[in-house]
Structure formats: C-alpha cells, structure tokens
Amino acid sequence: MNIEKQQSGMEYWKKVIIMLCLGWVTIWIYRSALTPIFPEIQETIGKYTNTQMGLISSCYFFGYTGMQIPAGILVDKLGKKKVLIPGFILFGLAAVMISMSQSISTIYIASVFAGIGCGSYYGSAYSLSSESIPEEKRGLSTAIINSGSAVGMGLGLIGSSLIVKQMGMPWQTMMYICIVAIIAMLVIFIVVIKPEEKTVKVVKETEQEVPVEKTKMDVKKLFSLKMITAYLLYFGTCYGYYMVVTWLPSFLQEERGFQGLAIGFSSALVAFSAIPGALFFSRLSDKHRNKKITFIFGLEIAAALMLLLTVLAPSSGILLVALILYGLLGKLAVEPIIISYIADSASKENYGTTFGVFNFFGMSSSVIAPALTGFISDNTGSKIMGFYISAIILVITTISFVMVNKNKKNA
C-alpha cells in the first residue's frame, strides 16, 4: 500500500480520500439538481408526462450503468488517470449540452453522455482507494468518500429549490454551477493522482527488469454465488435509493402538500442524515470486521421499514423522521460496509473489473426505478406503489445475501 508522504506533509491516501469525496460531490450536484425543477425545465422544452420526465434520469443511469464493466476493464488495463480524466471531460461537455437544450430529446442524449462520462468514476475511484488506503482504515475512509454523494445531493436539491424556485433564476444556472465544479475536479485529478507505476521483477540470470503480467481474471470467482448475491444486494439497495432521489421531491409536493424551499430541504434530509450514519457504522464495522454480514442485514431491513413508513406516515412530522432514519440507516450507511466486503473478497489485481461488475448490478436498478415509478404514477395517480416495490426488493435481496453467506460460513 502506498502511504508515503508528499511534499506538503499529507499522506497520499489522505489526499485520495479528499479528492474522491469532492468527485462524488460534483457528480451528485448534477444528479440531484434537475429533478426538483422539472416544472421549470418544461417551460423551456414543453409539457411532458411523469414517465417522459423520469426518462431523463433513466437515460443518465443507462449510460452510467452501461459504462461500468468497460470502464472497470479499462482501469485495469490503462490505469485510473487515463480513464477518469477523459470521462470527466465528456461529463462536462454533456452538462454544457443540457444547459443549451431546447427539446427533451436533446436532454435525453446529453444525459446518456453525462452518464457515460460519470461511469468512468466508480471503478477508478474504488480501485484507487482500495490500493492506496490502509486496510484497517478502509471502511471509515470509504464512508468519508461516499459522504461526498450525500453532500452533493443535498447541495443539488437545496440549490435547485433556492436558486430556481425561490430566487426565480433560470434553471440552466444549476448546469453552469456543475460545469465550473467539473472543471475544478479535472484540475485536481491532474495534480493529485500519481502516474501509474508498472510492476517489475528482476531476472537473476540477466539482472534485467521485466514487467510482471497481471493475473488473468478468474470468472468463476467474479460470478460465484457469494459474489452474485452481493451484486443483487447492491441492486436492491440502489433501487430504493434512486427511486427516492428521483421522485421524492415530486411525491412531497404532489401527494403531501410541501411547497417551495421546503421540498428541497425535506428531500435533502435523506442526504445529510446519511453522513453521520455512514461514518458511525463504517467505523463500527472496521472495529468488528467479522460482523460485516450482521451490520449489513440490520441496516438493510431497517432501511426497508423506513421506506414503508415514508408513505404510511400519518403526519408530516413522522414522514420527516422516516426520511431522516432512511438516510441514517440506508444506502450511504451500508454501502461502505458492502464495498469493504467486496474489496476483501475480490482479487487485488482486478479491482477495477470487480467493482465495475458490482456497480453495474447496483446501478442497473437506477435505470429501472425512475421510469417504472413514473409509469406507476401516470397509471395510478400516486407514487406510493413505487415505495412498496422498493422495500420488497430490498428485503428479498438482503435475505438471499445473508442466507448464502451463512451457508458458506457453516460449510
């Protein structure tokens, strides 16, 4: 592990944590900025159904998900920096394209490009963090990195509600903010990430250094029953989260009577409450590394219950409590533990590919959830069924994961 100090005195792995956290902030400002301002966007592009507007998120996640496995393979072959920087350049160009869009078809196309650009991030980020961060600090460090997504989500939701809804500025303003943040991250990537070092070995007879060939991917290990249930668990975890990210502002406004800035702040509770939950539970899992499965089971079931409470809550106060607890116990709290579990189980020579496959399964839910919930809303007049489906999927995938790991342990 590379933990040598730079000239500034800060260890490299600590710089990696800060950089990757800021990367997630930037990505999530973009991801969450558009959904609260769908009505304002329709003033520019025309009136559309919930299903058609939900496809904006689905197009982004289609590109993002489709890029996961190719990006993971490219990271292992070319290196993190050579994949990450071109990806963010494409992300920035897509944000420019959206800011200039006059039709929903243009936004769809740009959203796919943005997804492809951001799709370079996950495999690069967690391959870099897994290689750089000491193993005993991996859970907490991953939680700090992931907290960037919570901060970005909160800033995107509140920023859209404040800047566009409250202050009346053009909806494109949020895209301009994203563009500036993307450019700043490109500079940080160039400065902070070290060039890839080729591993070499010395041949005694000639005393020459020759490159060490990477171990070939063990496909059976990559798709073992243990890993498949972990992938499906992540699918269930992400399904509910991205359904909430996409449709919670609309649900609060149309079915619970929230207005203006209250929509953004209430939705952001999920993000902000996730930060202490992620830090606390990841630190706990680092101390009790043999109890990761127990932590995962408890957090996932609690998150499913909070999804149900969100729609069953008899008052706004209880609804807000459910949102806070969903953030505290949900995806961002359990994700660092699952990522740590994957890092412990995966081959170190193929981190990029393994995390690419892992995130492909998880993010495929983000393609389905926004559009399916929009379709349900158009046909039933309510998004409540979307919350029920999310809770059921989460419970089923969690039980499957725990049962397989319990059997492996007993065996």
Encode pLDDT of 366-405 as tens digits: 778 877 888 898 888 888 999 999 999 999 999 999 999 8
Instruction: Return d(Cα 196, Cα 327) in angstroms, integer.
Output: 37
| Residue 288 CB coordination number (10 Å) | 10
1 has a pLDDT exceeding 80: no
Hey, what are 357's tokens? 């496959």
Q: Which amino acid is at 135?
A: E
Q: What mean pLDDT is reported for the chain? A: 84
93 has a pLDDT exceeding 90: yes
Instruction: Return d(Cα 376, Cα 255) in angstroms, integer.
Output: 14
Encode pLDDT of 233-246 as tens digits: 999 999 998 888 77
Q: Averaged over 357-371, what is the pLDDT?
A: 84
Hey, what are 359's tokens? 């995130």
**141: which residues sit within 8 A by CB, 6+ positions away?**
13, 17, 129, 133
Phi-psi region of 168 (alpha: psi -120 to 50; beta: other; left: phi over 0): left
Using the structure block, give the residue that is written with the tokens 């997804």: 115
207 has a pLDDT exceeding 90: no
Question: pLDDT at position 287, please?
Answer: 80
Residue 263 has φ and ψ, to the nearest 5°, of: -65, -50
Cβ atoms 385, 255 nearer than 8 A: no
pLDDT interval class at 259 (50, 70, 90): confident
Q: Name which of 302, 60, 31 is nearest 151 in CA terms.
A: 31
Q: Averaged over 146-175, what is the pLDDT?
A: 87
Question: pLDDT at position 401, please?
Answer: 94
Question: pLDDT at position 26, please?
Answer: 96
pLDDT interval class at 216 (50, 70, 90): low
Cβ atoms 24, 155 nearer than 8 A: no
Question: pLDDT at position 407, please?
Answer: 65
Provide the b/e sequence for 167-206 (b: ≥16 CB within 10 Å). Answer: eeeebbbbbebbbebbeebbebbeebbbeeeeeeeeeeee
Q: Averaged over 149-158, what is the pLDDT?
A: 85
Q: Which amino acid is at 6?
A: Q
Cβ atoms 247, 270 nearer than 8 A: no
pLDDT interval class at 6 (50, 70, 90): very low
Question: pLDDT at position 213, please?
Answer: 52
Q: Averaged over 154-178, what is the pLDDT?
A: 88
The torsion angle over the Cα atoms of residues 372, 373, 379 and 385, rounded to 10 degrees, is 120
199 has a pLDDT exceeding 60: no
5 has a pLDDT exceeding 50: no
Hey, what are 219's tokens? 């496909």
Q: Kindly report whether the global pTM for this prediction surpasses the value 0.75.
A: no
Relative orientation angle of helices 225-255 and 261-287, to the nearest 10 degrees: 160
Cβ atoms 103, 47 nearer than 8 A: no
| Residue 312 CB coordination number (10 Å) | 13
Lowest-pLDDT range of 131-135, 299-303, 325-329:
131-135
pLDDT interval class at 7 (50, 70, 90): very low
**Which range has the top average pLDDT, 32-41, 133-142, 322-331?**
322-331
Alpha helices in 100-224 (DSSP H): 104-118, 121-132, 138-159, 172-192, 219-222
